[in-house]
Amino acid sequence: MSKVGAVIRREFIERVRRRSFWVMAMLGPVFFAAIFLAPLWFARGGGLKRIAVVDRTTTGFGLAVAVGLESTRGIFVVRRILGGPGVEDSLAREVGARHIDGFLLVSDSLFETGAVEYRASNVSSLEDIALLRQSLGRVAENARLERAGVNPGVVARAQVPVTLRTNKITRGRVTGESAGQSFALAYFMMVTLYIALLLYGVQVMGSVIDEKTSRVVEVLVSSIRPFQLLLGKVLGVGAVSLLQFLIWGVAASALIGRRAVLEGQLTDRGQDVGQVFQLPHVSLATGVVFIAFFLGGFALYSAMFAAVAAISSTEQEARQTQTPVTVLIMLAFFSSFATLANPESRLALALSLVPFTSPIAMPARWAAGNVSGIDVAISFALLMLGTVAVTWVAARIYRVGILMTGKRPSIRELVRWVRA
Amino acid sequence: MPDPIVLLDHVTKRFAGHIAVDDLSLTVPRGVIYGLLGPNGAGKTTTIRMILDILQPDSGTVRLFGEPGGGRAHAERIGYLPEERGLYRKMRVLDVLVFLGEMKGVDRRRARERAGEWLERLGLADWRLRRVDELSKGMQQKVQFISTILHDPALVVLDEAFAGLDPVNAQGMKDTVLELRGKGATILFSTHIMEQAEKLCEQLCIIARGRKLVDGTLNDIKRTHGGQHLVVGFDGSTGTAAQVFADPRLVRQLVASGARLSRFELQEASLHKIFIDLVGPVRGDARADEDRP
């Protein structure tokens, strides 16, 4: 129908013309990159502690400590000082003047009971402290082994750690995807779905409230059925969201295409990037599931947002009234973490079948676990049913509400509108 | 007799707690300017909304152009200017007009042409690419009026069309209404300002509290409801006047008194007076929520 087409076109063109759309298009990839890459970037730098070792040992063990720490990446031993009166105070002053980051008070007790003290301007970095403790532990361990007449090299060989490589099997095939990648992909999809559902649902709400407050709606519904108007709106905003995803998708694939370069630039400690974060592979099927559930969820939630706008008289009022809908989306998002933790659990199964949570939970489960095509189809069918039912109710509220002004209707009035 | 353009047959509309329109029947013939008059809260807007298919009557029927189907089915032939005006504030003037034209079934290119012509004609050509909210209120009203008639409707429905217009714009709208009427369009407009109705309408219906009080041609209504009044104008002191009016043989006396007569005419009551007589004093509880569906 050409009138619905006109509504779709208006929603689409007016939105894509806005500067905010392009800001989102540009910022989206930056934002997502930031979410995932920031930890890498922040992990870089730091480290490299300049510390002094105060040797109070009677056995010269302090020297072994200094040498041992020296070989630890990220720790730089400035000097070793023999303990004596006033040494601690003068070192404390050096810390104050930022010449050194801190100093270690090593006594015989390190060797015997493992007790050692570190004084520094910053003792709250768990990572640094852990590193220091680990290194000291190794030095002490080696010293004790040597005293017991054991060759530390033998022990080291005996302790070569197990490297467990994870490889996900999806629908009977080995995907070459690690646990980290599955998790990252599922997490990424959840965040994106959550933000997109809110973002575009609220846009439908804004569009309805705009027509209502400007009273344009009165002219519109004399020419087009309220349901057609609502349909055109949802499809128009939906098309905008698809364009947005397309732009993001292209940006993301460009990003993933240069993963090696990116990973190299973002880490400089030679650490295994894969352990921090792995850019996931996105298959076509995953893309289809993502888009299908997004569109289903968008239709479901935007119908509710439209109803919210229809019963509100101003934008402020709509923002208050929308709370139940936004809470529902938040619930879907946060409960979907359960599917990340265990994609096979009953809870994950339930969440991925219930229409209100499935738009986020199902794609997450799909990415994180081994979900059959049948499961996805059933979930999607339920989502469609739910969307039709919710849209039916919402459209009836919308139909009456858009012509209302003044007081917000009570629940009882809403029920009457729906039954009418 | 050709089918009437609008035919309301015993139409009733109830809202929670009150009857907005009560068993209303009216006929708007082709090619007339028809006034729907009534005080605030009389049910004018509700009646218009039922004609336009925005609301459905609880009972009774609405028939347009002598054909089945509600107002929406005939949207291509109806132009509607609602009481509460408004346009998409963030859209460009031309885009708004094209979109609203499309809603009325005009194709995009044609809508663009027509909008351009009208903007030119009403002196808004330079504003076509500006956003609506950059326009003054008067200009916005012009734009909205263009959107009402862009598709050359056979029936133009104007709800309180002249409310809030400055005299220049009001005159401009009146001229356009008369021009449309000259081209064969039927105009249905509601107002609570009788002077306007008296100047413009040929037929009218007065409603109050949802009920019809009277309808027919302006002349008939004046004849049957207004009574007649004699206006006499002459020179002379007020004492002379008192003397003259005290005597039943008025005219003879007038002539005999030697007064220089300047005016002697039979005058009908104004529509305003008829309206007040029929509707009665303004009720304190005139419903403000007339537009509540």
Task: Flag whether pLDDT at A273 surpasses 70.
Answer: no
Model confidence band, residue A64 (pLDDT cutoffs 50, 70, 90)? confident
Q: Closest residue of A to B51, CA-based? A: A222
Question: What is d(CA B289, CA B293) in angstroms, rounded to the nearest whole number?
Answer: 9
Please answer yes or no on whether A10 and B99 come within 8 Å at the CB atom. yes
Count Cβ atoms within 10 A of the Cβ of residue A407 and give its class: 0-12 exposed, 13-18 middle, 19 or more buried: exposed
The predicted structure's pLDDT at residue A281? 66
Please answer yes or no on whether A213 and B103 come within 8 Å at the CB atom. no
Task: Flag whether pLDDT at A364 surpasses 80.
Answer: yes
> For the segment A354-363, what is each residue's pLDDT rounded down to a tens digit?
999 999 999 9
Provide, as residue numbers in chain B, all residues whose Cβ is less than 8 Å from the Cβ of A211.
Answer: 88
The predicted structure's pLDDT at residue B227? 67
Q: Closest residue of B to A413, CA-based? A: B16
Count Cβ atoms within 10 A of the Cβ of residue A322 and give its class: 0-12 exposed, 13-18 middle, 19 or more buried: buried
Q: What is the average pLDDT across A376-381? A: 94
Question: What is d(CA A383, CA A377) in angstroms, rounded to the nearest whole number?
Answer: 10
Minimum distance, in Å, between the CA of residue B157 and any CA atom of chain A: 11
The predicted structure's pLDDT at residue A71? 76
The predicted structure's pLDDT at residue A45? 52
Nearest C-alpha neighbor of A144 from the set A114, A184, A107:
A114
Distance of CA B10 to the CA centre of its chain: 21
Whether A359 contacts A300, CB under 8 Å: yes
Whether B127 contacts B119, CB under 8 Å: yes
> For the segment A156-175, what is each residue's pLDDT rounded down to a tens digit?
888 787 777 777 666 666 66
Count Cβ atoms within 10 A of the Cβ of residue A231 and give its class: 0-12 exposed, 13-18 middle, 19 or more buried: buried
The predicted structure's pLDDT at residue A330? 94
Task: Flag whether pLDDT at A269 surpasses 50.
Answer: no
- Write the single-letter amino acid at A47: G
Select the more confidently predicted residue: B143 or A87: B143
The predicted structure's pLDDT at residue A57? 83
Task: Flag whether pLDDT at B244 surpasses 70.
Answer: no
Phi, psi of B25 (to 5 degrees): -125, 135
Three-class SS of residue A153? Answer: helix
Extended strands (E) in A92-239: 102-106, 117-120, 169-170, 173-174
Minimum distance, in Å, between the CA of residue A403 and any CA atom of chain B: 7
- Write the single-letter amino acid at A277: F
Secondary-structure breakdown of chain B: helix, strand, coil percentages, each rounded to the nearest 5: 40, 25, 35
Minimum distance, in Å, between the CA of residue B230 and any CA atom of chain A: 47
- Write the single-letter amino acid at B254: L
**Residue keyed to tokens 């070192």:** A91
**Residue B211 CB: number of other CB atoms within 10 A?**
15
End-to-end CA distance of chain A: 26
Picking from B56, B102, B135 by the largest number of A CB atoms within 10 A of its own CB, the best residue to mutate is: B102
Q: What is the average pLDDT across A206-229? A: 91
Report for A75-79, A267-271, A275-279, B282-286: range of highest mean pLDDT: A75-79
Torsion-angle region of B105 (φ positive above 0: left; ψ -120 to 50: alpha; else: beta)? left
Task: Flag whether pLDDT at A282 surpasses 80.
Answer: no
- Tokens representing A287? 């893309």
- Tokens representing B78? 């109806």
Select the more confidently predicted residue: A277 or A386: A386
Task: Flag whether pLDDT at A42 surpasses 80.
Answer: no
Nearest C-alpha neighbor of A59 from the set A133, A143, A153, A150:
A143
Picking from B103, B104, B140, B141 by the largest number of A CB atoms within 10 A of its own CB, the best residue to mutate is: B103
- Write the single-letter amino acid at A102: G
Please answer yes or no on whether B52 and A2 come within 8 Å at the CB atom. no
The predicted structure's pLDDT at residue A208? 93
**Residue A313 CB: number of other CB atoms within 10 A?**
17
Residues 6+ apart with CB under 8 A from A399: A226, A227, A417
The predicted structure's pLDDT at residue B50? 93
The predicted structure's pLDDT at residue A35? 67
Whether B20 contacts B14, CB under 8 Å: yes
Whether B267 contacts B230, CB under 8 Å: yes
Dihedral sign (CA A192, A197, A203, A206): negative
| Alpha helix segments (H runs only) across B122-268 | 137-149, 167-182, 194-200, 218-225, 238-246, 250-256
The domains of chain B, with CATH numbers, are 6-92+134-219 (3.40.50.300), 228-268 (no CATH)
Question: What is d(CA A314, CA A319) in angstroms, rounded to the nearest whole number?
Answer: 9
Q: What is the average pLDDT across B239-243? A: 68
Dihedral sign (CA A320, A326, A331, A334): negative
Helix (H) or strand (E) holding A2: helix A2-17
Q: What is the DSSP letter of B192?
A: S
Bridge partners (DSSP) listed for residue B18: B15
Provide, as residue numbers in chain A, all residues whose Cβ is less than 8 Å from the Cβ of B104.
Answer: 223
Task: Flag whether pLDDT at A272 surpasses 50.
Answer: no
Picking from A14, A15, A216, A419 by the largest number of B CB atoms within 10 A of its own CB, the best residue to mutate is: A216
Question: What is d(CA A49, CA A103) in angstroms, rounded to the nearest whole number?
Answer: 10
Model confidence band, residue B292 (pLDDT cutoffs 50, 70, 90)? very low
Q: For residue A108, what are the CA distances in angstroms to A58, A67, A133, A134, A143? A: 7, 16, 16, 18, 12
Please answer yes or no on whether B75 and A219 come within 8 Å at the CB atom. no
Three-class SS of residue A20? Answer: helix
| B69: contact with A, CB 8 A cutoff | no
Maximum distance among all Cα pairs of chain B, rounded to whole angstroms: 75
Select the more confidently predicted residue: A368 or B92: B92
Q: Give percent of chain B with pLDDT exceeding 90.
A: 42
Select the more confidently predicted residue: A62 or B148: B148
Q: What is the average pLDDT across A270-283? A: 54
Nearest C-alpha neighbor of A239 from the set A4, A19, A23, A15:
A15
Residues 6+ apart with CB under 8 A from B285: none
Of the CA atoms within 13 Å of residue A214, those in its CB half-sphere come to: 22
Phi, psi of B231 (to 5 degrees): -110, 125
Question: What is d(CA B108, CA A3) in angstroms, rounded to the nearest whole number?
Answer: 11
Closest Cβ–Cβ partner in B53, B86, B105 for A222: B53
Model confidence band, residue A275 (pLDDT cutoffs 50, 70, 90)? very low
Q: For residue A289, what are the CA distances in angstroms to A25, B16, B274, B289? A: 22, 46, 71, 49
Phi, psi of B267 (to 5 degrees): -120, 140
The predicted structure's pLDDT at residue B156? 94
How high is the mean pLDDT of chain B?
Answer: 84
| Alpha helix segments (H runs only) across A18-79 | 19-43, 61-70
Question: What is d(CA A324, CA A340) in angstroms, rounded to the nearest whole number?
Answer: 25
The predicted structure's pLDDT at residue B293? 43
| B57: contact with A, CB 8 A cutoff | no
Q: How many residues are present in chain B?
A: 293
| B58: contact with A, CB 8 A cutoff | no
Select the more confidently predicted residue: B225 or A392: A392
Extended strands (E) in A28-151: 49-55, 75-82, 102-106, 117-120
Question: What is d(CA A150, CA A144) in angstroms, rounded to the nearest whole number?
Answer: 9
| B71: contact with A, CB 8 A cutoff | yes
Torsion-angle region of B70 (φ positive above 0: left; ψ -120 to 50: alpha; else: beta)? beta
Minimum distance, in Å, between the CA of residue A196 and any CA atom of chain B: 23
The domains of chain A, with CATH numbers, are 2-41+175-419 (no CATH), 49-158 (3.40.190.10)
Minimum distance, in Å, between the CA of residue B10 and any CA atom of chain A: 22
The predicted structure's pLDDT at residue A136? 84
| Least confident span in A58-67, A159-168, A325-334, B141-150 | A159-168
Task: Flag whether pLDDT at B183 surpasses 70.
Answer: yes
Minimum distance, in Å, between the CA of residue A318 and any CA atom of chain B: 18
| Least confident span in A375-389, A401-415, B124-138 | A401-415
Model confidence band, residue A339 (pLDDT cutoffs 50, 70, 90)? confident
Bridge partners (DSSP) listed for residue B64: B6, B67
Provide, as residue numbers in chain B, all residues whose Cβ is less than 8 Å from the Cβ of A14.
Answer: 88, 90-91, 95
| Least confident span in A79-93, A312-326, A350-364 | A79-93
Q: What is the average pLDDT across A123-150? A: 80
| Least confident span in A318-327, A393-402, A406-415, B266-275 | B266-275
Q: Give percent of chain A with pLDDT exceeding 90.
A: 32
How high is the mean pLDDT of chain A?
Answer: 83
For the question of an ipTM over 0.90, the answer is no
Minimum distance, in Å, between the CA of residue B147 and any CA atom of chain A: 10
- Tokens representing A109? 């007790």
**Dihedral angle computed from the Cα positions of residues B74, B78, B80 and B86, in that order, rounded to the nearest 10 degrees:** 70
